[in-house]
Structure 1
Amino acid sequence: MRRSILTKVTVVAATSLLALTACTTDSSIEDPPTEDTTAAAEETAPAAEETSSDEWFVQEVYDDQFEQRSATFEGDPEQPWLQYIDGEMTDTAEYAADGAQKACFANASISNPWRQTGWITMNEQLKALQDSGVISEMETRDAQDDDNTQIADIDYFIAEGNCDAFIISPNSTAAMTPAVERACETGKPVVVFDRGVETDCAVTFIHPIGGFAWGIDTAEFLSERLEEGDKVVALRILPGVDVLEQRWAAAERIFEENGIEAVDYFTGADPTEIKDILADELATGDVQGIWMDAGDGAVAAIEAFEDAGADLPVMTGEDEMSFLRKWEETGIDALAPVYSNFQWRTPLLALEQIFAGEEVPAEWILPQTPITEEERGEFLTANEGMPDGHYAKFGGEDMEGYPEVWQERQIP
């Protein structure tokens, strides 16, 4: 059975979000869930719990992702959204179909810049597949980061009976598993991406390498540049999100192995909270490193050192443009890990292959390569004119709406 290791979406507090509401390609998103599906969702979704990093550390998966960081990917490197690590394939001959097909997308949310960037890219890919006659429409329901709502959304699609295929980006893992299984039971192809669920019934599960790989890349980068006994402050968004927890579980182990003193705080990506935390830390001693499980709030972290007149730290952030620009401005020693935003194209392109009856990877693992100091200038130039909330590795440069729809944040 395929492992259902969850893969990130960075869930951030409202203080760090763009002033946007959840949008969709279909007006049905505004329909309230029915009484029956709401009740079913309330019975199914468990409450979130805060757990320790030890509970999220799985040695086998850690080892797999360690090796996958240097794996050879099949496919054209100029189209990383179609690359994958060679492995088990799914025969999709039974799903071959003539003519344009309808996709139904149950989305966790577009509540943060990472998801908004991906949602724009996904809709540009949708337009291309509509023009080529592969997909007729994509009816979308947005759960706005709520398990119960997403369960109701999936059940709505099933009851509606008009979906030729399901795409699901789960809000959480355990809660969403029964609903995904119900979608699979319809006999229609199901594509899961971004985060996983505890079932392998989907035709394909699409995601970058994962949280452990992020944690390894970032903690090794910091450990190589710091001395034993140096202090790292880890700024974390929130507890209980698998891929975020896996990032920290991996990083914490590496810091311990290298004698790095690491303390972690949950910040909700609130810039004020981040500055307060670092002001307190800097008031009591030196901080040599900053580790983040997502890029939101990275600029505030750097500004906290500037405000205190302290030496700037060695730091890891993310490929969000605000961080890349602050990195260049300050000249800090930094790394931008990525959770490849171009993955938002892949589910629709997977459906194109599935409707053609072509094999697809059972677990579609996409490249996940950090941006280094040597590459930063290249990505800044390539994304010139993009807003601060844009993600450098969004993978939409070859699409008809580039660059205007991303520059203007034309969210459907």
Structure 2
Amino acid sequence: MRRMHVVSAMVGAFALLTLAGCTTDPGVTAPTETTGSEETAAPSVEWFDQALFDKQDAERSVVPEGPDGKPYLQYINAEMVDTSQYKAEGAKKGCFANASISNPWRQTGWITMNEQLKALQESGAISELETRDAQDSDDTQIADIDYFINEGNCDFFVISPNSTAAMTPAVERACDTGLPVIVFDRGVQTDCPVTFIHPIGGFAWGIDTAEFLIDNLQEGDKVVALRILPGVDVLEQRWAAAEKLFDEAGIEAVDYFTGADPVEIKKIISDELAKGDVKGIWMDAGDGAVAAIEAFEDAGVDYPVMTGEDEMSFLRKWKETGLTGLAPVYSNFQWRTPLLAAQMIFAGEQVPQEWVLPQSPITAEEVDQYLAANDGMPDGHYAKFGGEDLPGYPTIWQERQIP
């Protein structure tokens, strides 16, 4: 059964949702099979956008505004919007249409969001957060949003879209209610929400990672790119940026969709190693990073130069092996920001229309710092989760208590 629940001070925890496969955006023609890009059908959407590439490239060096030590409330180059029309007293009910909690990044964020909710319930800002989990289905999430519009008795909407194009009309219907709509994580093709919250973005990730690999490799070296799924803007943009830079630098890059399946990742790497030297591994998400490293160990060859993510399993394997690595970050602390934004909106405070959060990779010089700060956390935890000041820290995250 699909999870539908109300998160409130009166409701107990639900069982962990099992990992589910991801669906693609119906507006995108997906590759025909999980093989290299040279053997698959090209997507029907052109994901590279030079203006957005340039914007995110510049934002990487901007010092964010906002309170020190609270990156989840910081913002970059914001255009603030007036929210005085929504100012109202009393605790408000939120309705959250979530794409899923089907991977460790989303599970970590979901835990953090619920701990933030407890703090806001205690302060009287939010009464409850009714949540419907779409389990990675566009059709389900569209139905969830329409349910909230018609039946949810909501004071505000929070939407983390499953995919970009398919979810846009449903988000617009939520906006048409006149209630505040907050979109975060993945984008949609409308500017009707009061605020769209996200880290700098996929192009910034792609630039950070590709430049790192290029700086540590030679022209003509081969990189294997491991991608989890097509059709999601932040993922497609990561690869679009990296592919551009690899091409310009003369790096041979082949890409594969893996579904974040460790068995598939090992097979892909093993097959590529059988063809010849693989000098670099690029990933658009850290799931399965350890499996990729283990494929090199199984083959008895030198470790690659590699980019993973700030998931603890990768950081620990990176430290253990001493490989040349970088942990790009798609700031997990963003899961706190939508509820804090709702509090600000109902207080009539200005919020950024596009709320761009800081997004800084973990470098080799910082690995020990983040390993120490997250000692005792499970492998699926994300180092830059930003919840250290919340009520359940550290136990809730250590025990992986997923509502």
Give the alignment's TM-score, normalised by structure 2. 0.91
What is the aligned partner in structure 1 of residue 201 from structure 2? 210
Distance 1:47 1:210 in 2: 21
Distance 1:305 1:129 in 2: 47
Shift of 1:212: 0.5
Shift of 1:266: 1.2
SS in 2 for 1:374: helix
> Given the superposition, is the C-alpha separation of residues 98 and 146 from structure 1 closer, same or farther in structure 2, using an over 3 Å criterion?
same
Say if 2:251 is the partner of 1:260: yes
Shift of 1:87: 2.6
SS in 2 for 1:191: strand
Residues 63-78 of structure 1 mapped to structure 2, 5 A cutoff = 63-78=54-69
Distance 2:240 2:272 in 1: 22
Say if 2:108 is the partner of 1:127: no
What is the aligned partner in structure 1 of residue 93 from structure 2? 102
Shift of 1:389: 0.5
SS in 1 for 2:369: helix
Give the alignment's TM-score, normalised by structure 1. 0.89
Please point out which of 48, 51, 62 is paired with 1:60: 51
Please point out which of 380, 387, 402 is paired with 2:371: 380
Residues 78-89 of structure 1 mapped to structure 2, 5 A cutoff = 78-89=69-80
Please point out which of 128, 134, 137 is paired with 1:143: 134
Shifted more, 45-54 versus 324-333: the winner is 45-54
Please point out which of 83, 90, 105 is paired with 1:92: 83
What is the aligned partner in structure 1 of residue 342 from structure 2? 351
Asked if the contact 2:88–2:346 (Cα under 8 Å) also holds between the matched residues in 1, the reply is: yes
What is the aligned partner in structure 1 of residue 362 from structure 2? 371
What is the aligned partner in structure 2 of residue 247 from structure 1? 238
Shifted more, 51-60 versus 381-390: the winner is 51-60
What is the aligned partner in structure 2 of residue 234 from structure 1? 225
- Residue type of the partner of 2:219? E
Structure 1, gaps ≥5 residues long: 1-19, 31-44
Say if 2:157 is the partner of 1:166: yes
Shift of 1:77: 3.4
> Given the superposition, is the C-alpha separation of residues 53 and 161 from structure 1 closer, same or farther in structure 2, using an over 3 Å criterion?
closer
What is the aligned partner in structure 2 of residue 25 from structure 1? 6
- Residue type of the partner of 2:92? Q
% identical aligned pairs? 75
Shift of 1:86: 2.9
Shift of 1:185: 1.2
Shifted more, 73-82 versus 154-163: the winner is 154-163
Distance 1:381 1:239 in 2: 35
**Cα deviation per residue 1:29-62 (whole Å; 9 max; x = unaligned)?**
x9xxxxxxxxxxxxxx845422449811010000
What is the aligned partner in structure 1 of residue 19 from structure 2? none
Residues 320-331 of structure 1 mapped to structure 2, 5 A cutoff = 320-331=311-322
What is the aligned partner in structure 2 of residue 338 from structure 1? 329
Distance 2:344 2:316 in 1: 38
Distance 2:296 2:311 in 1: 20
Asked if the contact 1:91–1:359 (Cα under 8 Å) also holds between the matched residues in 2, the reply is: yes
What is the aligned partner in structure 2 of residue 157 from structure 1? 148
Asked if the contact 1:89–1:361 (Cα under 8 Å) also holds between the matched residues in 2, the reply is: yes
Say if 2:7 is the partner of 1:49: no
> Given the superposition, is the C-alpha separation of residues 183 and 402 from structure 1 closer, same or farther in structure 2, using an over 3 Å criterion?
same
Asked if the contact 2:3–2:132 (Cα under 8 Å) also holds between the matched residues in 1, the reply is: no
- Residue type of the partner of 2:242? A
> Given the superposition, is the C-alpha separation of residues 185 and 23 from structure 1 closer, same or farther in structure 2, using an over 3 Å criterion?
closer
What is the aligned partner in structure 1 of residue 179 from structure 2? 188
Distance 1:288 1:391 in 2: 26
Say if 2:289 is the partner of 1:298: yes
**Cα deviation per residue 1:207-254 (whole Å; 9 max; x = unaligned)?**
001100000000000000111111111111122222111111110111
Please point out which of 167, 173, 176 is paired with 2:167: 176
SS in 1 for 2:6: coil
Asked if the contact 1:22–1:109 (Cα under 8 Å) also holds between the matched residues in 2, the reply is: no
Distance 1:67 1:389 in 2: 31
Structure 2, gaps ≥5 residues long: 15-24, 31-41
Distance 1:201 1:110 in 2: 25
Shifted more, 157-166 versus 111-120: the winner is 157-166
Please point out which of 208, 211, 217 is paired with 1:220: 211
Asked if the contact 2:28–2:44 (Cα under 8 Å) also holds between the matched residues in 1, the reply is: no
Distance 2:46 2:60 in 1: 23
Distance 1:238 1:106 in 2: 21
Asked if the contact 1:21–1:111 (Cα under 8 Å) also holds between the matched residues in 2, the reply is: no
Give the RMSD, CA atoms, in angstroms.
Answer: 1.7
Asked if the contact 1:385–1:407 (Cα under 8 Å) also holds between the matched residues in 2, the reply is: yes
- Residue type of the partner of 1:25? V
Shift of 1:21: 7.9
Distance 2:234 2:245 in 1: 17
Asked if the contact 1:315–1:335 (Cα under 8 Å) also holds between the matched residues in 2, the reply is: yes
Distance 1:172 1:252 in 2: 22
Shift of 1:162: 1.2
